[in-house]
Structure formats: C-alpha cells, structure tokens
Amino acid sequence: MLFTNGLDPSPVNFSLGHRYWTGEDPEFNSLIDETIAQSGGLSSVAAAAIVAERSVELSAVDLARLAAEAQERLGRIADQMAGTGEEVRSYGVALEENAAGLSAGADPRAIVETLIGLTSAMIARTREVERDLRQTGDDMRGMRASLADAQASANKDALTGLPNRRALDARFAQSIEGCNRDGTALTIAICDIDNFKGINDGFGHQIGDEVIKFVGSSLADKDAAVFTARYGGEEFVVLFEGIELGDAVARVDRIRAAISARELRITATGQTLGKISFSAGVSACNPGDGAYAVLRRADNALYAAKRAGRNRVIAG
C-alpha cells in the first residue's frame, strides 16, 4: 500500500497500512477506499487526515512519564513539609517544657543554653529545608523548560524549520473549531513540488533537500494569519485563517508564479537545475466541516492540478 501510493515509510504510515489490512476499523477502511477511488491514490496528506480523523489514542507513555516525574517531585515536597512539621511540633513541645521548668524554679542558665541549642538546631534545619525546596523548585522549572523545548522540537520539521504535521494538526483543529463556532473564514492549500523524484534522481537527495527548503521558505509568510507547515516529503500545507478562498488562491498562485519563473542553480558548481514548480489544491472550510472533509477537497483539487499539467493552482 505504501509503495503503490508513494507514501513515506514512516511509523505513522506503516501503522496505517497495518490497521487497514487487519480490518479492525471498518469505517477507517471505508475512508481509505473512498479516498483512493475518488482521487486515484492515497496521498500523505489524505492518509494523515484519515488517521487524525479516526484516532482516539493519546501518548500513554509520555503521560505516564510526566505524571511519574511530577508525582515524585510533589512527593518529595510533601515529605519535606511533613518532616518539617514534626520538627516544629517537637520544638514547640521543648519550648513548653523548658518554659514550665522556668516557672518551677529550674536553673535559668541551663534552660537558656538548652533553648539556644534547640533554636540553633531549628534554624539550621529550616535553612536545610529551604535549600531543598529551592533545589526542588529549580528542578521543576528545569523540567518545565525541558518540556517546552521538547514540545517545540516535536512540532518543528528538522529540514525546513517549519512547523511539522503534528503542529499543523493541532493548529488546524483550533481553526476548524473557530470556523464552525464563529463562522471565521478558513482556507487550506496543499502544495506539492512537481516532478520531485526527477530532481532527486538527477541531482541527488542533498540538492533535493535544498529544493524543499527553498519552496518551504517561499511559502512561509510573516502574516500571523498564514500558517505554513511541511507535511512530509515534498508536500506543504498552508492554513489561511480569516482569509477567503479567492484571496488565498491568489496568494498561493503569486508564489507559484514567482518560483516557476526562476532559473535555479547549484551554488557550488553553477550547474543549472532548470525551473522548479509546484501544484496546489485549495479549499475553504464550510460550516459543519471536519478537518478530513476540507483536506480531502484540497487534496482532490491538487490531484486535478497535477492531471491538468502541473504548475498551477486549482480551487476545490
């Protein structure tokens, strides 16, 4: 299934293939079959959309690890507080006993020496607990920073530096919710570099990677309403939040025209790569749409652009 549809041999896609062939989820299989029948194949975007649509799993391993770390640190704090509370109670009892001794006429100097010793020990213990709590606080802040770094890394494509499919899925879900709740305009574009296999075969994967980075940087936009992500391989997905279909089509087409008009060369050798282009399918979210419905329309439009000769943008 993966090779027939040109899907990357990623863990997600292997899982998709296994899930399909086991037949454990008939609705999942129906979505796969329907997409292949309508589009003539299963793209990585459509595959990921179907997986996301039917996924009910959370990362149990990560959740368990985070919960264990947090509980361990909270348990340490609780133990410190319990131990300190017991010491404070003991200190209070000792003060009462020595105060009673003073009232009973005991030697004041001995009692004062005892109180000084108890107070000094309590001060030392308080400082020790303070250091422990400060260290625990530093550990918690470090864990939070590490988790933030890991989250950022997990959401970024290593090659292009753009958001990856994981980040896109989260952003897309929020955007779809806003579209359905508030009627906020939402348009999605799926862009696929034309004849990319020929670039890899003719110039090598390193040059192919440079082409991917070039197209990705061209599609990226500083406009906060435009969210560009690499979806895998030579495919990119662009979300246009609050932007109508016609405007989004025009924006993508301007980028397409600018890229296809350039003659690219390899900097180190001066060898020409010729002209690079991409095809794109664009679709708007309609009230009541789910992520899969919007992605499927855009993916079908992308296939139509490819069949029509590539290097074009089609709305669907």
DSSP 69-120: HHHHHHHHHHHHHHHHHHHHHHHHHHHHHHHHHHHTT--HHHHHHHHHHHHH
Side chain identity at residue 187, one-letter code: T
Nearest CA among 165, 167, 175, 176 for reference residue 290: 176
234 counts as catalytic: yes
Which tokens hold the place of 68? 């264990």
Euclidean distance between CA atoms 97 and 91, whole angstroms: 10
The answer to whether 213 touches 160, Cβ cutoff 8 Å, is yes
Say if CB 185 and CB 244 are below 8 A apart: yes
Q: Whose CA is closest to 314, among 253, 234, 228?
A: 253
Q: Which of 210, 234, 235, 241 is flagged as catalytic?
A: 234
d(CA 2, CA 14) in angstroms, rounded, equals 8
Beta-bridge partner residues of 239:
188, 227
Question: Is the Cα dihedral 276, 241, 284, 247 positive or negative?
Answer: negative
* Degrees to nearest 5, angle at CA 119 with 118 and 122: 85
Catalytically annotated residues: 234
